[in-house]
Amino acid sequence: MSEPGLSNLLTETRRFEPPAALAEDAIATDATYDAAAKDRLGFWAERAGELQWSRPWDEVLDWSKAPFAEWFVGGELNVSVNCVDRHVEAGNGGRVAFHWEGEPDGDRRTLTYADLLVEVSKAANALTELGVQAGDRVCVYMPMIPETVITMLACARIGAPHSVVFGGFSAQALVDRIQDADAHVVVTADGGYRRGSPSGLKPVLDEALQRCPDVRSVLVVKRTGQDVDWTEGRDVWWHDLVEKQPETHTPQAFSSEHPLFLLYTSGTTGKPKGILHTSGGYLTQVSTTHRYVFDLHPESDVYWCAADVGWVTGHSYICYGPLANGATSVLYEGTPDTPTQDRWWQIVERYGVSILYTAPTTIRTFMKWGEELPGAHDLSSLRVLGSVGEPINPEAWMWYRRVIGGERCPIVDTWWQTETGGIMITPLPGVTATKPGSAMTPFPGISVAVVDNDGTAVGNGEGGYLTLTEPWPAMLRGIWGDEERFRETYWSKFAGQYFAGDGAKKDADGDLWLLGRVDDVMNVSGHRISTTEVESALVSHPSVAEAAVVGAADETTGQGIVAFVTPKGSVADEVSSGEAFVQELRDHVAKEIGKIAKPRQILIVPELPKTRSGKIMRRLLRDVAEKRDLGDVTTLADPTVVNAIGDQMKASTAED
């Protein structure tokens, strides 16, 4: 574990007061903070009471089995009913739930809440026909199409936890996740559109299923019309099975702690963790944060979270939060540059998007493309802009505010994690001042600390490790099938506090600045990737003897993956630093994990720098990867090794 990167400390002191126009009818007020500060559990109970429960809870929080929390104990609800039926029953069935845009231009679909109720009911009936029962895990491997959200809601409706696997993951990654969750049913599509052409999903799944004999049914949406292999008896088309189902479905209520979904994320070891989220507390926090953080007025706002539903941002802020609030959202399938680099601004203009939520990597990419593109569109509908997934540098923040937000929209930089389920640290528009690069303060009802190595809270102006000091409603309920790893990973470093894995600093005013991960987890374009996972993938190549992977600062993606690889003795001479070998290794990583984990650069080296006790000196390799001077290397077994690698690095150029 490395010390928090205090060298990153930001000195930016600009401060923007909340815009008066927004404050007038803002959802959150100063009183929101006061109420939560006075009675944290009472605040959350009041928020939970805004949902529809079939049976009221007996106790707000049971923390007696810490670190395993139970929220709204004894309460019963159906998450899907809260996200769909409730709005139709309230007379809002005609409101648009999703304006969907496929990547190919002109590919559009509008779903109202009434439409969604019919689709979710049919899908729930179809899953039931496939034998899915409450508690069974359903794997979802889909592009960004309405059927993906429909499937998630259908799973929730019948109490079957979903495990959505991002469409960019490889067959091997799918195998690991399907097997770990012991899923017997998978919902997928023939493919999706990305960067102007159809990409295949079913072929990747077919390959994975050769190693997953327990999967008995695959439900396939026809999205692209590509030819796909078909396994009779196992594969069934969505349009054959779902379309013929009855349009109504009588939902059952589930316990507040009934599992809602598993979502796999990278940890510090090679094995991804199945993060478990449950129903009542999760829905309470994601709906509350969605409403307060984005100042959502569901009757007039058009909200667009541009994440992929395969990540937690998509779960909480495309699916559950917005739908629980009866919001109108945009759902977009493709990339921001297809067919042109102003695709997003066309979408904002077309639907009158008023709230936009995206990642700093995307903002930095837009900065590179230039202000003329957004400048050529009418973005005056925008009111609130959000950022998530990685630290946002003040330059990107200021650009976002000026070019996209026309200097009038508050920027909400939201810190949270797959594990936290919902937003934890953020400004609130209309109430909180903002500072470029700071996530500011904990959300009402959330308790955080920045602590030193001993777990003691540091004062203003100091940095340390970010911890969460009280349980929160959307907190993970564990790691699927691994109770010990849950305790060890999050609860063992600082007694009684959740260790987030991030470094943070409190500025002179006590506002929070997130400084990035302090463990072996990289953050590439807002995606979490473990160094160990990429190392394991590299070492699984027959010609690789050893590999060390580090995240190096990257102007656009935040961090880029840099790998140092020593080939096996017998092939070392042959491959040396050959281009073809490097390419083969990059493809190998993509095959083992997915394209998102492809190293930016791979250096073939004769030896890795190690301490005398044989530990790889990652910190030195990070210096090498960022082309910094190496300083004192006397603890190394052989200091010449790292100097040679440093020279090799300085002479190299990145692969792409």
Report d(CA 162, CA 140) in Å as an integer. Answer: 7
Q: Is the Cβ–Cβ distance between 414 and 426 less than 8 Å? A: yes
Closest CB to ligand PRX among residues 45, 286: 286
Cα–Cα dist 576/600, whole Å = 19
Using the contact rule CB under 6 A, the part of the chain among 46-54, 165-173, 430-438, 497-505 near ligand PRX is 497-505
The footprint of ligand PRX on residues 296-315 (CB under 6 A) is 312-313
Q: Is 550 exposed, middle or buried (0-12, 13-18, 19+ CB in 10 A)?
A: buried
Write out the binding residues for ligand PRX, residues 504-563 only, by CB under 6 A: 514, 516-517, 523, 528
Tell me: does residue 502 bind ligand PRX (CB under 6 A). Answer: yes
Cα(446)–Cα(281) distance, integer angstroms: 13
CA distances from 646 to 36, 490, 554, 654 (A): 52, 35, 18, 14
Q: Which stretch binds ligand PRX (CB under 6 A): 20-28, 68-76, 234-242, 387-395?
A: 387-395
DSSP letters for 236-301: EEHHHHTTTS-S------EETTSEEEEEEE--SSSSPEEEEEESHHHHHHHHHHHHHHTT--TTT-
Nearest to ligand PRX of 289, 414 (CB atom): 414
Contact present, 62 and 53 (Cβ < 8 Å): no
Beta carbon nearer to ligand PRX, 11 or 570: 11
CB neighbour list of residue 125: distance below 8 Å, 6 or more residues apart: 245, 246, 249
Residue placing its CB nearer to ligand PRX in the complex, 414 or 434: 414
Interaction with ligand PRX in 106-145: which residues (CB under 6 A)?
Answer: none
Residue closer to ligand PRX, measured from CB, 191 or 310: 310
Calpha distance 189→203 (Å, rounded): 10
- Nearest partner of 137 among 182, 196, 191, 92, judged by Cα: 182
Q: Which of residues 27-86 bind ligand PRX (CB under 6 A)?
A: none
**CB-wise, 417 or 557, nearer to ligand PRX?**
417
Q: What spatial distance separates the first Cα and last Cα of the chain, rounded to whole Å?
A: 29
Task: Quote the least distance from Cβ 352 to ligand PRX, whole Å.
Answer: 26
Interface with ligand PRX (CB under 6 A), residue from 501, 551, 609, 646: 501
Site for ligand PRX in 625-644 (CB under 6 A): none
Nearer to ligand PRX by C-beta: 81 or 552? 552
Window 429-448: residues binding ligand PRX (CB under 6 A): 439
Beta bridge partners of 425: 415, 442
Rounded to a whole number of angstroms, the minimum distance from the CB of residue 49 to ligand PRX is 26
Of 200-208, 324-332, 496-504, 635-643, which part binds ligand PRX (CB under 6 A)?
496-504
- The mark string for 389-428 relative to ligand PRX (x by CB under 6 A, - otherwise) is xxx---------------------xxxxxx----------
Which residues contact ligand PRX by CB under 6 A? Answer: 265, 312-313, 388-391, 413-418, 439, 500-502, 514, 516-517, 523, 528
